[in-house]
Amino acid sequence: MNELWKERVAYQIYPRSFNDSNNDGIGDIPGIIEKLDYLKDLGVGIIWLSPVYKSPQKDNGYDVSDYLDIDPLFGTLEDMDNLIKAAGKRDIKIIMDLVLNHTSDQHIWFQKSREGIEPYKDYYIWKDPKNGSYPNNWDSIFTGPAWKYDELRKQYYLHLFAEEQPDLNFHNPKVIEEIKNIMRFWLERGIYGFRCDAVNVIYKSSFKDSVTKSVRKGREYYLSQPGNHLILKELKKDVLDNYDCFTVGEAGHVDKETAHLFCDKKSKELDMIFTFDHLETHEYLVKWFRRKFKPKKFFEKLSFWQKELEWNPIFFENHDQIRSVTDLGNDKLYWQESSKMLATLLLTLKGTPFIYQGEEIGMTNANFKSLAEIEDIESLNGFKMLRKWGLPKFLAEKFILKSSRDNCRTPFQWNDDKYAGFSTTKPPLKLCDNYQRINAESQIEAKTSILNFYKQLIGLRKTEETLVKGDFTELLITNHLFAYERQYQDKSLIIIVNSSKKKQRISIKGELVLSNYKRTDFNGNLSPYEAVILRE
Ligand code: GLC
Ligand code: CA
C-alpha cells in the first residue's frame, strides 16, 4: 500500500468552533463541507476531525455515548457520509478521532455495566472500596481522585480523565472486539484512519497504590504497559491491515525506547505518534505553571525526535494546547513574522505536518478575562486543584486563563462580521476580540499574509521532493537559531530560523528559495523572527 499520509499536509478541525451552518452558535458538519474549498485551496490533503460522535459533550465529544452515530449538534450520519464524499471529490481524506480509553458515563455499555447486566458487567474497571474508601491512591489526569463511587453498583469505577469518562476494561476481550467493530464501521464508510486518543494509557497492568509522589499517581501502572502494545498489535493485524489507512496515536510522556515500540515499522502498532516534549519545555510541574519560553530547548526537542524516529507528525498546536504564536512566537510586535517562522518549521521538518484550525491565519490566545468565560472541564478542575494547593483566587485564575485549552477553541475567525463570520448567533465560547484584524477573508486578499505564506510553503512541498522525502540533519542550535538540512538523492535544502526579536548572523550561505521577509538573496543576516529556505 502506498503511504500517501507521508506526502500530505494534515489539518485538524475542532468541529464545534470551525463553522456553523445552521446558526445555532455551534460549528457542525455541513459547516465543514462549506469550507472544503478553502481547505483545498490551502493545500490540505488530510483532515483530522475531532470527535463528532454522539456525546453529552462534557469534554467536547471526547466523552462518547454512541460511536456509531453522529451527535445532533453536529449533524447526522448522512451529513458525515456527505462530508466524506465531498472531501473525496477534492482528493481530501478524512481521519476520525478514536477515543478508546474511555466512553461517556451515558454510554449504554456503562449504564448496563452499572446494573451488572451481561455482557457489559466487566466492560469497565470496577473495584470494591478499600477500608471504606478509594480502591487505591491514583489521581485523575484531570486532577482529583481517579475513582468514583457508584451507588447503584456499590463499587468504584476508574476514570483517568473526568468522572463522566469511565475507563474501559481492556483486560476484557469483548471490549477489544467492540473497538474493532467501531473501527471497521468507519473504515467501511470511507475514512482514511484514526487519530487514537490517549492511546498509551489504555491498559492498566495493576491496581496497586502508586509510589509516585507528585501528580499523576498511578502512571507506573498505566503508561505504555506491555499489554497496551499487545492490544495495538491486535487492532493493527485484525482491522487496520485490511484497509488503506493510517493511524497517529496521542502518546504523552513517552521515552525513546517506548516510542520505537509504538511506531517503528516492524512494531506493527501505529504509523506515528504525537509526542509532546517540544511543547512542554517551559512547563513547570503542571501545565498551569509556565516558565519563560527558551527557543533552544524547543529546537533541541524537535531535533531529538527528528533524529530518533523514522517519521513524526509535526505539530505546534492542537485542541489541547494554547496558540503557538502566543506561546512560541510573539503575538504582538512580530505576530506576522513569528507566525511565518513557525509555519516554516512546521512545513519543512521531516514528517507529516498537522495544521490546527486557525494556525494558518495566526490566530492568537483568547485573552480571557475571567473564569466565567472558560468552559473546558480540565481548566475548571485545574482551578480547583490550584486553590486546594493554597493559591489565592486571583493567582489561580490568572494561571488557568493563560494556559486553558479554551485559548485555541475559540470560534474560527473567517471575516470581520459580527461573530467573525463563524455564525450569526453568539457562540457559547467567546470569540477572540482581535477577529477584525486577524481573519481569513482579509488574508486571502493580502499577498503577504500568513495564510498565503502557508500556501507558498505547502506549494513548495509539492515541487521540492526533498522537503517530503529528505533526511534530516541538524546543523546548528543556539539560544535563538535553528538550522538544519534536508537531503534527498543529490539535492539538499537548508532551513534556518531565528526565534528572537534581535537580528542574528550565521555563516551558512546558499541560494535563497523562500523567506518570510522581502528579500532577493541571503548573506547570513537574519532579521527578527526571520526564516529562510536555501538551496545548497
Ligand atoms: C485527549 C484529548 C483531550 C481529551 C482527553 C480525554 O488528551 O486530546 O482533548 O480531553 O484525551 O479524552
Ligand atoms: Ca450549528
**Using CA atoms, how far apart are residues 241 and 400, in angstroms rounded to an integer?**
42
User: Taking a C-beta distance cutoff of 8 angstroms, is the pair 433, 313 a contact?
Assistant: no
Query: How much is the average pLDDT of 244-268?
Result: 97
Sorting pLDDT into bands at 50, 70 and 90, what band is 2? confident
> pLDDT at position 51, please?
98
> pLDDT at position 286, please?
86
> Which three cell numbers mark 296?
533552544
The tens digit of pLDDT for each residue in 466-497 reads: 999 999 999 999 999 999 999 999 999 999 99
Strands 504-505 and 525-526: antiparallel
Mutate to test the pocket of ligand 1, among 197, 280, 404 (most ligand atoms within 8 A of CB): 197
Residues serving a catalytic function are 197, 250
What percent of the chain has a predicted confidence (pLDDT) above 70?
100
Looking at all shown ligands, the one closest to residue 60's CA atom is 1
Distance of CA 223 to the CA centre of its chain: 19
Looking at all shown ligands, the one closest to residue 142's CA atom is 1
User: Taking a C-beta distance cutoff of 8 angstroms, is the pair 530, 341 a contact?
Assistant: yes
Could you tell me the distance, in angstroms and rounded to a whole number, from the CA of residue 30 to the centre of ligand 2? 8
Taking the CA of residue 59 as reference, the ligand 1 atom at the shortest distance is 10
> pLDDT at position 1, please?
58
Helix (H) or strand (E) holding 530: none
Could you tell me the distance, in angstroms and rounded to a whole number, from the CA of residue 309 to the centre of ligand 2? 40
**Which is nearest to 191 in space by CA: 399, 362, 52, 374?**
52
User: Does the pLDDT at position 216 exceed 90?
Assistant: no
The tens digit of pLDDT for each residue in 141-173 reads: 999 999 999 999 999 999 999 999 999 999 999
Higher-confidence position of 109 and 536: 109
pLDDT, the chain, mean: 97
pTM of the model: 0.98
User: Does the pLDDT at position 212 exceed 90?
Assistant: no
From the number of C-beta atoms within 10 Å of its C-beta (0-12, 13-18, 19+), residue 433 rates as: exposed
**Using CA atoms, how far apart are residues 349 and 359, in angstroms rounded to an integer?**
17
What percent of the chain has a predicted confidence (pLDDT) above 90?
97
Nearest CA to ligand 1 atom 4: 62
Sorting pLDDT into bands at 50, 70 and 90, what band is 213? confident
**What are the E-state strand segments in 318-452?**
352-356
Taking the CA of residue 319 as reference, the ligand 1 atom at the shortest distance is 9
Sorting pLDDT into bands at 50, 70 and 90, what band is 11? very high
User: Does the pLDDT at position 130 exceed 80?
Assistant: yes
